[in-house]
Amino acid sequence: MSTGDASDLTRAALEALETAGGSGSVAATAWAPGRCTLVGEHVDYAGGRVLCVAVDLGIAAAVRPSGTARYLVVSGGAIVTRNDPDPTGDVGDHVLAPVVALRASGISVPALEVGIAATLPAGAGLASSAALMVATATAILRLLGAGMTARDLAAVALSAERDVLGIPCGPLDQRAVIDAPDGGALLLDCATGGEESLAWPWPDAVLVGCDTGVHHDVGGAEYRHRREETESGLAALGVTSCQELTDSVIESARVDPDVKRRLHHVMAETRRAVEAADAMRRADLGALGRLMSASHRSLGDLHEVSTPMLDAVVSAAEDVPGCFGARMVGAGFGGTVVALVTRDRADACRRAMAGACGGVTFQLRPSPGVAVLAPDVVRG
Ligand code: GLA
């Protein structure tokens, strides 16, 4: 991870607080990375497996006690003051949701002032929301001299999104942001909660991202609808995890053809994630790239969450010699495309992707999650 960037960002979060005035008391800080799925998209809410990394773009939070009983939030150039942390429809909602979730978990949190700084683009499929919740919750715990297990912190961050903000996300983003190993990938089993860390075996291959600039909303109707369709299909078959599905089981289901397509996606995608982890263990770059591209096609054809622009960016990357595969990342309907490419062809791949959509490109370096970064807070 480029820790220089993380400390610059933490300084920026502190400066945001300083410029807003407020209590002036000493702040605690925390930094959380974003997440990039390698293979295993739209399966976390179906009890599937996901291969993912945390990345070196992230969010920093600086938190200090309020000098009054009022909350102050400084984020993205906006300053908000509040009497309480409950959602009201402004920029403070996401920042203060962890306060509500921490209190619900039994932790006594005073009125706070919070400064936020980010290098992770919002709404770009890289788990900016989870990074924000985890960074803020970690900074609050640090301020209080409190600690939590990784599982409890993930539960608080997930509850902040689901219960406080009403966003129907699965468990992937919070787990990746917290549990990712240093310089490797995480294979998550969303049916059992189990996980395995895998080293990044290719010094000469990198991940490059292109944020198309078309941003999606996980709280929006399409994500919610895909989730409902998938869950209704699993329920009709009497199973709780897509890992239990087979072609013949799906074909036997008396469900809408759209629901069948969703089930075919989640069945194949969770298997691809397991194969992708095997490809990493064997250091088979070609196999991982092919699985990433197959994942993208399934997300477009069967789950119907891709867009013509995302498809164009994926094709542009795949056409670059030295690129092994590419796919959309996150919920879809816009956001980021990631490509797996040899280091010496990374710039060419970035130019091709940007040329297809006019978006912003960056390298995505596998980075440690908050359990590694904040052992004083994430305990046990
Ligand atoms: C969003 C959600 C996750 C997951 C992905 C798709 O990032 O927050 O829970 O469902 O989309 O894999």
pLDDT bucket at 7, cuts 50 / 70 / 90: confident
Cβ contacts of residue 225 below 8 Å, gap of 6+?
none
Position 1 scores a pLDDT of 43
pLDDT bucket at 358, cuts 50 / 70 / 90: very high
Asked: is 205-366 a CATH 3.40.50.300 domain? The reply is no
Position 6 scores a pLDDT of 78
Q: Which residue has the tokens 């610059």?
A: 8
Instruction: Tell me the pLDDT tens digit for each residue of 25-54.
Output: 899 999 999 999 999 999 999 999 999 999
Q: Which atom of ligand 1 is nearest to the CA of 167?
A: 8
List the residue whose alpha carbon is closest to atom 7 of ligand 1.
Answer: 330
Q: Which residue has the tokens 């945001």?
A: 16
Position 321 scores a pLDDT of 98
Q: Is 44 in the pocket of ligand 1 (CB under 6 A)?
A: yes
Q: Is 218 in the pocket of ligand 1 (CB under 6 A)?
A: yes
More confident residue, 279 or 24: 279
Question: What is the average pLDDT across 66-87?
Answer: 94
Domain 3-198 class, CATH top level: alpha beta
How far is Cα 372 from Cα 352, in angstroms, rounded to an integer?
35
> If you measure from the C-alpha of residue 31 to the centroid of ligand 1, how many angstroms do you get, rounded to a whole number?
21
Q: Are strands 71-75 and 112-118 parallel, antiparallel or unpaired?
A: parallel
Q: Give the SS3 label for residue 346.
A: helix
Global pTM exceeds 0.85: yes
Q: Which residue has the tokens 């003051």?
A: 81
Question: What is the average pLDDT across 194-208?
Answer: 97
Beta-bridge partner residues of 75:
78, 116
Whether the pLDDT of residue 61 is over 70: the answer is yes
Written as one string, the DSSP assignment of 211-228 is E-S----TTSHHHHHHHH
Q: Is 330 in the pocket of ligand 1 (CB under 6 A)?
A: yes
Position 2 scores a pLDDT of 47
* Residues tagged active-site: 173
Whether the pLDDT of residue 58 is over 80: the answer is yes
pLDDT bucket at 170, cuts 50 / 70 / 90: very high
> If you measure from the C-alpha of residue 124 to the centroid of ligand 1, how many angstroms do you get, rounded to a whole number?
11
Q: Give the SS3 label for residue 30.
A: strand
Q: Terminal CA-to-CA distance of the chain, rounded, Å?
A: 23
Instruction: Tell me the pLDDT tens digit for each residue of 105-136.
Output: 999 999 999 999 999 999 999 999 999 999 99
How far is Cα 275 from Cα 270, in angstroms, rounded to an integer?
9
Q: Measuring CA to CA, how many Å separate 273 from each of 21, 304, 306, 314?
A: 48, 19, 19, 19
Position 251 scores a pLDDT of 93
Sign of CA dihedral 40, 44, 48, 54: positive
Position 3 scores a pLDDT of 43
Give yes or no for a contact between 229 and 216, defined as CB atoms under 8 angstroms apart.
no
Instruction: Tell me the pLDDT tens digit for each residue of 204-253.
Output: 999 999 999 998 777 678 999 999 999 999 999 999 999 999 999 999 99
Q: Where are the domains of the chain?
A: 3-198, 205-366
pLDDT bucket at 75, cuts 50 / 70 / 90: very high
> If you measure from the C-alpha of residue 144 to the centroid of ligand 1, how many angstroms do you get, rounded to a whole number?
30
Position 272 scores a pLDDT of 98
Q: Is 31 in the pocket of ligand 1 (CB under 6 A)?
A: no
- Of 131, 280, 272, which is closest to residue 196 (Cα–Cα)? 280
Token digits for 368? Answer: 């440690």
- Of 146, 193, 169, 17, which is closest to residue 97 (Cα–Cα)? 169
